[in-house]
Structure 1
């Protein structure tokens, strides 16, 4: 991998007409608009889609972070594309990007040079699309990415505190591609190049369109149809809205899903079923595209792009997550079925990383949405094809799920054998419940034990991320997370392996306050449990309702979508702050307030438990984040020979 100075400007997709002219173009085939800065790397959606389309022989231009507040010259500079405009808010929903859980405006943006805020609008997908449709009403606009994908049907918007219609209805876009876009975009382009009009692309899998109510539904004999409650019915009845979501989630996680139909005003939104999971060859092809793996030269001297700095020495080895956590959007976007890269493709990318001029031998992560789901799938895939469970591991680990960690251990060891690799760390969150499954077969259990030793002895950069999320079994059930007793068991194994290896490492548990089902007393118990384990918590957050999660539907409606039973949720600022303060029980400024609240709750018994000294070893305290240098120091002696 060469440094930036070794590349020519034409090695990136063009971002200006001048760059396009250097390539001899008169007109792009596709023009992509993105709310993120343009980083030509497989972790950034605009780059992936751009390189995919380029690989199909198209001329693709990218307009990163267009100015929507001036004379709109960024939207006009390439004129019109031959095929269509593509629009994405970026790697995050723009509202999550902009605002905290308390709806406070953030002062930074990790996807902008220098981390500067203010370079994308609220509801960026809708804003960009409406501008393009006003300027070029006859040119098709295709939307995609996280924001569009998770807002494809009626959804609760936390920042407006109201239900909003599917984004096709509010934006005026011609088509939506949901989920990971390679498969549908290939088919779309192939059909367009055969002369099929864009308006006739009504039966492409993993896309959504709108049509007048009086029009006949597009025909596809292989699909069944499921009509959802209308947007207006959802506005009128929160319980109807909650029950609607169960159908949406179940179909989003099925191998053979139904086509979803929802009426909005005088139109209907039609959501075609998704493609089957990508094969390893298909996923390899996406990661093997000719990325420079670097930000575009336009950002030279404008400051580092924090999101790129975070992942530039990491490698993603799979997509998808079958955890099905109630508050998480991964399965709604990437799906619950795992698509894994081949070992050869992973090693090729690691070798590219090794050639980067500032690479010092340390890979920051070999992971994915979850650290340890690589190559995991059903033993009998025919059973998976009929399954409607949103999670393969909750409320119990499916007997048909193969959780053998041997292929993952092989990846780790193969990477570590490469010359120039000093350490490969695992920065993604580990699902420890799979590693402690008493119902697993003996071969699986052996692989779990080997994996835990491999991970803890050789791949922890001082601190290992895990996400128990809460300590109350009642709340954890609501979250679709395992009992906290499993975290305690894993914590003991972690300590034992560290002791055997002569290491001093820390577990970093993630916790959430104010999640549906969590009451103040539950948070007090959480603080007590953390104290007994001697954790002073840092990695914590207040629950933020984001579109298309079970937890968000409960937060808005007050009902669980699967049972339609009422569920308590903290809504007011005071309620949320009262729950959050228990994370910081160890700070003197909170003690008096916590004691006062516990007396009001008639739980004076917790005061003594919370503020007495813990008996656990001091080494497990989590107070401050060590520097990268300090994180690595203890492990160099443990490099495998």
Structure 2
């Protein structure tokens, strides 16, 4: 049964009042891939009554009142994506569709819904606690650079006027918050829960707190913000992190408590086996359903966390670097339920998480000492303490593909190829190629220039070349004609025109033209975003060249798709500017473009 979305639904359950009203920016999809579904079902399992208000009309103040005033608090989540990434391309152009809205219709949520919804609630229910959560709140929990407004913004806790913020994967924290409110503790006194951020006027009693630079100083000097972020990235582990304090003005502080501990396997199993309906609310059927369900309905979430720590990824800040994995038994039970679904065609679309082939902590030390503060697990090379072992994942995949009714089990959430390459046992790569790839395997080398890769926190180009050779060798032995499809990022901090041209030459040599290229997108709370904004690497404060000029960004992007006729002018301009006219000519083995625009081009000159 879906949770109530109306007074009528509440009446059917015999409820006069909800304990919590959850206001969300996405459509209501009761599936474990949607954060609000998990949090609401976790609360329900603890005996709390939760109602859902999805995508309230921001032009109608009463849309926030349809379930009445909750007994304990309002919960607010912008959705599964940061709203600004959901709404705008990297060129800041509006998108045309929203996969998390019924019918894919765009415009059903405002920009920054975390702020807008909370403001609406506070106007109607001034004294009712509001607790924030979700990716938008999590990654904006302290001062952060906002690409769309091109400025440093305050903690979203202040801009929204909310009372408390839960960051990361909030199952443990939300129960503690709920129990504290149930016990009658005023929300302003709930300052002790890990995984939360709160406001205060006097931080003198904060235990072992680290004072970050003041917001006003960071606004004046980007380097001060970079230093602050350099401290923050060292405090993302539940064992080693300290409390962080950020000052705003004379007597206002925001305090970030250490992260919540990772869930145990049993706890994670319990979360994913709550009574989800595993689809969108039936009221959306007439509108065409919710497009986002298609990608995840027949996928299995096998793990959380990622010790890959790529600079452009926010997972370290949100989920952390400690791997949490579900049991085989739990995943098999979920797969068997999928098989019974009338829409299931025999294909499990994915078995993974942030990185599919991570099913255990990077090393034994992490279990008791936490992750290293000043050292990465895979970069610049695989740590000597790393335990590289795919046997558990291989065993899981074997069990899943042996189930009656399963034709194929795909792995689409991505593998870390340097981790796979470090495994002396080729069983995983062999079975991956034989059973879990359909013609092509998507991997993410991202670039070919080593100094750009170093800034990305990615393995060097030689490692990718080694993986390509091994993949080709294994597929040849299996008599399979399969190939790698690389994900590439253009104009990442550190990338010059020279680097973009080197990447284009690599594409030429591969004989592969990418259909899609990801232009670097500065999103809140990533190392790469700080590089983009501040011009330094916050980990060591060394200067980093960053492409902020839209035209140069366009040239770097065009180089990665140099064969497209519409990119001709930009590619030619870039090659001339970089003094690489040798790449303009008719020798296809060397040159990228001919001296003249190809026939059929709209501006072709005879």
How far, CA to CA, are the matches of 1:144 and 1:428 in structure 2? Answer: 24
Residue matched to 1:560: 537
TM-score, scaled relative to structure 1: 0.89
Residue equivalent to 1:160: 149
Aligned to 1:587: 564
Pairing 1:236–2:220 present: yes
User: 2:273 and 2:356 mapped to 1: Cα distance?
Assistant: 21
For structure 2, the 5+ residue unaligned runs are: 592-606
Residue 563 of structure 1 and its aligned partner are, at CA, apart by 2.0
Distance 1:239 1:106, change over 3 A: same
1:463 aligns with 2:440: yes
* Alignment-derived partner of residue 131 in structure 2: 142
CA contact (8 A) 1:87 1:129 kept: yes
Residue number in structure 1 paired with 2:424: 445
CA 596–100 in structure 1, closer or farther in 2 if over 3 Å, else same:
closer
The corresponding residue for 1:336 is: 321
SS at match of 1:241: helix
> What are the equivalent positions in structure 2 for 1:136-215 lying under 5 Å apart?
136-212=125-201, 215=202
Deviation, structure 1 residue 458: 0.5
CA distance in 2: counterparts of 1:475 and 1:357, whole angstroms: 47
| Count of aligned pairs | 590
Contact 1:169 1:264 in 2 (8 A): no
Whole-Å Cα distance in 1 between the matches of residues 424 and 196 of structure 2? 40
| 1:496 and 2:473 correspond | yes
Deviates more, 1:465-474 or 1:493-502: 493-502
Compared with structure 1, are the counterparts of its residues 589 and 206 closer, same or farther at alpha carbon in structure 2 (3 Å cutoff)? Answer: closer
Contact 1:457 1:497 in 2 (8 A): no
In structure 2, the residue matched to 1:611 is: 588
How far apart are the structure 2 equivalents of 1:538 and 1:371?
A: 24
Q: Verify: 1:393 aligned to 2:357, yes or no.
A: no
- Separation in 1 of the partners of 2:586 and 2:356? 34
Question: What residue is the counterpart of 2:103 in the other structure?
Answer: 114
CA contact (8 A) 1:155 1:166 kept: yes
Structure 2 residue aligned with 1:312: 297
SS of residue paired to 1:315: strand
- TM-superposition CA deviations, 1:269-328 (whole Å, max 9, x none): 010111222111111111010111011111012113121111111001000011111110
Whole-angstrom distance in 2 between the partners of 1:577 and 1:375: 40
Output the CA distance in 2 between the equivalents of 1:577 and 1:420: 47
Instruction: Tell me how far 1:189 sits from its aligned partner.
Output: 1.8
SS at 1:578 equivalent: helix
**Aligned residue in 1 for 2:232:** 248
Question: Which one of 275, 284, 290 corresponds to residue 260 of structure 2?
Answer: 275
Go from structure 1 to structure 2 and tell me whether the alpha carbon gap of 1:338 and 1:608 turns closer, same or farther (over 3 Å shift): farther
Paired residue for 1:365, among 350, 374, 386? 350
Deviation of 1:217 after TM superposition, in Å, equals 4.1
The more displaced of 579-588 and 512-521 is 579-588
Quick one: structure 1 residues 468 and 455, their matched pair in 2 at CA, closer, same or farther if it must change by over 3 Å? same
What is the aligned partner in structure 2 of residue 227 from structure 1?
A: 211
Pair 1:25-2:15 in alignment: yes
Matched, 1:297 2:276: no
Shift of 1:373: 0.5
Q: CA deviation at 1:162?
A: 0.5
Q: Is the contact between residue 321 and residue 371 of structure 2 (CA under 8 Å) also seen in structure 1? A: no
Output one character per residue of 1:489-530: Cα deviation in whole Å (capped at 9) or x when no partner.
222222222222232223221111111000111111101111
Supply the distance in 1 between the matched residues of 2:399 and 2:77 (Cα, whole angstroms). 36
Q: Per-residue deviation at 1:468?
A: 0.6
C-alpha offsets along residues 453-503 of structure 1, whole Å, 9 cap, x if unaligned? 011111013321111111100100000001122222222222222222232
Shift of 1:609: 10
Distance 2:567 2:345 in 1: 42
Q: Residues of 2 paired with 1:592 and 1:331: CA distance?
A: 39
Q: Cα offset for 1:376? A: 3.4
Q: In the alignment, what sits opposite 1:38?
A: 28
Given the superposition, is the C-alpha separation of residues 588 and 381 from structure 1 closer, same or farther in structure 2, using an over 3 Å criterion? closer
- TM-score with structure 2 length normalisation? 0.94
With over 3 angstroms needed to count, the CA separation of the structure-2 counterparts of 1:234 and 1:390, relative to structure 1, is farther
Q: Give 1:613 shift.
A: 7.2
CA–CA separation in structure 2 for the residues paired with 1:20 and 1:505: 54
SS in 1 for 2:185: coil
Q: What secondary structure, in the 3-state scheme, does the structure 1 residue paired with 2:57 have?
A: coil
- C-alpha change, 1:314 and 1:297, in structure 2 (3 Å) is same
Change (3 A) 1:253 1:475: farther
- For residues 184-239 of structure 1, give each alpha carbon's deviation from its aligned partner in whole angstroms, at most 9, with x where no partner exists: 11111222233323222111111011112xx35455xxx52111001101001111
CA distance in 1 between counterparts of 2:153 and 2:147 reads: 10
* Cα root mean square deviation, aligned: 1.7
Q: Secondary structure at the match of 1:192?
A: helix
Q: 1:569 aligns with which of 542, 546, 551?
A: 546
